[in-house]
């Protein structure tokens, strides 16, 4: 177990890629997201999603951003 990243707001501490579960920082999370064409949860956490269900796809992230401008 490692210390959490000072910038990580991901609440899924069961995820093996969460920085609390290793000492490699954001790398494993970003690698997973890149391979799935997804956006890391820390980016979603910057948005007010109003409880709107979403996946972590590029498309869902773009929709949430555009819905707030
Ligand atoms: S990229 Fe992943 S590990 Fe890094 S801060 Fe964002 S959610 Fe956390």
Residue ranges of domains in the chain: 19-67
Cα 20 to Cα 27, 47, 51, 55, 69, distances in angstroms: 13, 23, 26, 23, 33
Cα separation, 28 vs 68, whole angstroms: 30
Residue 68 confidence (pLDDT): 87
In this predicted model, what pLDDT tens digit does every residue of 9-68 receive, in sequence order? 999 999 999 999 999 999 999 999 999 999 999 999 999 877 778 899 999 999 999 998
> Ligand 1 centre and the CA of 21: distance in Å?
12
Residue 33, Cα to own-chain centre: how many angstroms?
A: 8
2 within 8 A of 23, measured Cβ to Cβ? yes
Candidates 26, 35, 46, 56: which one to mutate for ligand 1, based on the most atoms within 8 Å of Cβ?
Answer: 26
pTM tops 0.85: yes
In the predicted structure, residue 1 carries a pLDDT above the cut 80: no
Q: What is the largest CA-CA distance in the chain?
A: 40
């Amino acid at each position: 177990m490692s210390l959490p990243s000072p910038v990580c707001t991901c609440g899924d501490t069961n995820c093996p890629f969460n920085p609390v579960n290793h000492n490699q920082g954001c790398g494993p999370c970003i690698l997973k997201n890149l391979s799935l064409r997804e956006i890391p949860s820390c980016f979603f956490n910057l948005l007010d999603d109003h409880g709107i269900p979403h996946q972590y796809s590029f498309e869902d992230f773009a929709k949430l951003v555009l819905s707030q401008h």
